[in-house]
Every structure is written in structure tokens, then in C-alpha cells.
């Protein structure tokens, strides 16, 4: 069976992907420095699947230590989740973001070349479509102008990976552009565990519901959208994780670079998220309407046809599932992995 290295695999999306890969029969190795995650997440992945995961506590930028992992294991493919992802923090600390996100990518590519590993799947983002492109986004659109350094790191890393695949004809690159992952594994054992005050909508909503935050501020109600609040393509993290399994199956049959949107194709507004969360979980989320957040696009959603056509992947879970599963995780783990 094939062995997949998950760089940054202890994080939110990586841990859910580890579960789906293990369930599909792959061997999984996780390399993470736990800067935004916890070894407890990996322990729970093992609990859910009944399988063991080899782990390395390592900074992926540290090429020497990374080489050891490639030396000790026969790696067939890499999935590169390791990155810093807070838009606001990236504006305050651009150098930290450029250094971490780009150097992790370069170290992985160097080691892969040295050890003749020719398959890499990269966690990209819908943010690369920038401000210019019209929704719904299709993969053939040009990358746009980002509003923050985090987004630019994704644009740059996509370019780096594409250039490397052009130069090395053996290399296969799959760029997965995620839309807005929310939800959690239905066991309630793994989920999103943001450190400090959450930046993203769903963890904020669930922390208000559990009593950790007083109220949600909805950023802007004067957009040209169905109810005046921004719309996004929210995708259940387990559907997203299954998209990675499909990408792994695909990558071994393919050379060059291929891009896939991983989204549902259906946008929901902030108000719809709050109302659905309240409805399916029979509770109230204290919220107020405030001003716009700088840099937010009114609408962002995918055309998800290519992933269906080429990978045979489509989402199965509903918005109700996303809200129910987010809440189960939050309720069972009010302090995340710190119990």
C-alpha cells in the first residue's frame, strides 16, 4: 500500500484527511511542528480509525530534519498542508508568513527531488482568484490580485509548484483550491481548534454558542447579496478530506500540474449560517450587525464541475450537517484539544 506524507497533517484539514486516507487503506505519516495544532489530534485520528500513524515533530523549513523523514520512509506522495493561515496576522507579520509558507514548500520540493518522490498535492485557496474574477470561479481563470500577504503566499506557491513541474517532467502537482471548510468529523473527536480569538465565522459562532464568547459581530449588512451579508461556499471538512483521497488516486496516473476547486458550488450568506446553526442545534447565537471587515469580497463560490468530471468527486454533506457537526465537536470539546 502506498505511503502518504502529510506535512502539517495534525491540523484541521490534515487530521480529517488522515482519517479518510487511513480508511481507504493508505499508510500515513504526519510531520508537523504543532505551531497551530496538537499531538492529541493525531491520537484521536488513531482512535477513530483503529490504525497507527507515524509522526515526526519537525519544522518543515528545516531541510536537514525533513531529509531524515524521506530517508527513513518510502514516500509515494506528499500532501502539503503546512502553512500559517490567518489573513489578519499575515497583514501584521508579512515576513513570518512569506518565510514560513514559502520555505516549507521549497524544503519539500528539494527533499522530494533528492529522494525521487514525484507527487505533491498542495493546499491552495479560493483566495488566489483575487478581486478581478467573476463568480463562480473556474480553474482556467487567471490568478488575481490578493488583498493580503497570506493570499499572495498561495499565489506564489502555486507558481513555484507549476514552474517546478515544468522543469521536472517526472513531477506531478495537484493544486487543490479550497473554499470555506467548516464542520467536523461526525464522531465529534476531531475538529477545528483555533488558538485565541477565532478569525473565521464558524468557530466564532460555535464559541458564542458554547458561552466562550459573548456575541458574534456580523461584518457588514450592506453588500449587494441576497440578504446584504457576504456569501461563501462552505464545504464540510469531511467532503474536503475525501477530495484529497480522490486527488491521491489521480496523482499517480498523471504528470504536470492540474488544478481543482474543492467547493460545493452553492453560496450561503452569513445570516443563513447563523440561522441554520440555530435551527439544527435548537439554540440561539447572540449576534449583532457591524461594519464591513476590510478585504472581504461580497461573494465567493466555486464552479465545482471539473472535480466531478476528472476526479469523480462531489460533496455529499448539507449545510445542516456542517452546522450540526461543528456544534457536536465544540460541545464535546469546549477547550478544543486542551480538554
State the residues that interact with ligand NAD by CB under 6 A: 8, 10-14, 32-37, 59-61, 81-85, 100, 104, 123, 125, 178, 180-181
- Which one of residues 34, 98, 115, 219 is an interface residue with ligand UFG (CB under 6 A)? 219
Cβ proximity to ligand NAD: between 14 and 136 the closer is 14
What the block records as the C-alpha cell of 181 is 471548510
> Which one is catalytic: 56, 129, 137, 150?
150
Task: Determine which residue in the list 125, 153, 207, 264 makes contact with ligand UFG, applying CB under 6 A.
Answer: 125
157/160 Cα distance (integer angstroms): 5
Neighbours of 157 (CB within 10 A): 23
* Nearest in space to 208 (alpha carbons), one of 318, 334, 320, 337: 334
- Give which of ligand UFG, ligand NAD, none residue 181 binds (C-beta under 5 to 8 Å, depending on kind): ligand NAD
* 190 φψ region: left (φ > 0), alpha (ψ -120 to 50), beta (else): beta
Q: Which is nearer to ligand UFG, 70 or 137 (CB)?
A: 137
Q: Give the Cβ contact number of residue 170 at 10 Å.
A: 11
Q: Which of ligand UFG, ligand NAD, none is residue 199 near (CB under 5 to 8 Å by kind)?
A: ligand UFG
Closest-approach residue to ligand UFG (CB): 230
Interface with ligand UFG, residue 74, by CB under 6 A: no
Q: Which of 313, 300, 293 is nearest to 265 (CA)?
A: 300
- Provide the grid cell at 311: 476526479
150 is known as an active-site residue: yes
How many whole angstroms separate alpha carbon 280 and alpha carbon 273?
11
Give the Cα separation of 210 and 332 in Å (integer).
Answer: 10
Q: Which residues are catalytic?
A: 150
Q: Contact residues for ligand UFG (CB under 6 A)?
A: 85, 87, 125-127, 151, 180, 199-201, 204, 216-219, 230, 232, 270, 293, 296, 300
Amino acid at each position: 500500500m502506498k505511503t502518504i506524507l502529510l506535512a502539517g497533517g495534525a491540523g484541521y484539514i490534515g487530521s480529517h484527511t488522515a482519517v479518510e486516507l487511513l480508511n481507504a487503506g493508505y499508510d500515513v505519516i504526519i510531520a508537523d511542528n504543532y505551531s497551530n495544532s496538537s499531538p492529541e489530534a493525531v491520537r484521536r485520528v488513531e482512535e477513530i480509525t483503529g490504525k497507527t500513524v507515524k509522526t515526526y515533530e519537525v519544522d518543515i523549513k528545516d531541510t536537514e530534519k525533513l531529509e531524515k523523514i524521506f530517508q527513513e520512509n518510502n514516500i509515494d506522495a506528499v500532501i502539503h498542508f503546512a502553512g500559517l493561515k490567518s489573513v489578519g496576522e499575515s497583514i501584521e507579520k508579512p515576513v513570518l508568513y512569506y518565510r514560513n509558507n514559502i520555505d516549507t514548500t521549497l524544503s519539500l520540493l528539494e527533499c522530494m527531488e533528492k529522494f525521487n518522490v514525484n507527487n505533491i498535492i498542495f493546499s491552495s485557496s479560493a483566495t488566489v482568484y483575487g478581486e478581478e474574477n467573476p463568480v463562480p470561479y473556474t480553474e482556467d481563470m487567471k490568478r488575481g490580485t490578493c488583498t493580503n500577504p497570506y493570499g499572495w503566499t498561495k499565489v506564489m506557491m502555486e507558481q513555484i509548484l507549476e514552474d517546478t513541474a515544468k522543469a521536472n517532467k517526472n513531477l506531478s502537482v495537484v493544486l487543490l483550491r479550497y473554499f470555506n471548510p467548516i464542520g467536523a468529523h461526525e464522531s465529534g473527536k476531531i475538529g477545528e481548534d483555533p488558538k485565541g480569538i477565532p478569525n473565521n465565522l464558524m468557530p466564532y459562532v460555535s464559541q458564542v454558542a458554547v458561552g466562550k464568547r459573548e456575541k458574534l459581530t456580523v461584518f457588514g449588512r450592506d453588500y449587494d447579496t441576497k440578504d446584504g451579508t457576504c456569501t461563501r461556499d462552505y464545504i464540510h471538512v469531511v467532503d474536503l478530506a475525501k477530495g484529497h483521497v480522490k486527488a491521491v488516486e489521480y496523482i499517480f496516473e498523471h504528470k504536470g500540474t492540474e488544478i481543482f476547486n474543492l467547493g460545493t458550488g452553492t453560496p450561503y450568506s452569513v445570516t443563513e449560517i447563523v440561522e441554520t446553526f440555530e435551527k439544527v442545534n435548537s439554540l440561539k447565537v447572540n449576534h449583532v450587525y457591524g461594519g464591513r471587515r476590510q478585504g472581504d469580497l461580497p461573494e465567493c463560490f466555486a464552479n465545482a464541475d471539473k472535480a466531478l468530471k476528472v476526479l469523480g468527486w462531489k460533496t455529499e454533506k448539507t449545510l445542516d450537517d456542517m452546522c450540526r457537526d461543528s456544534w457536536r465537536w465544540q460541545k464535546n470539546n469546549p477547550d478544543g484539544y486542551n480538554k
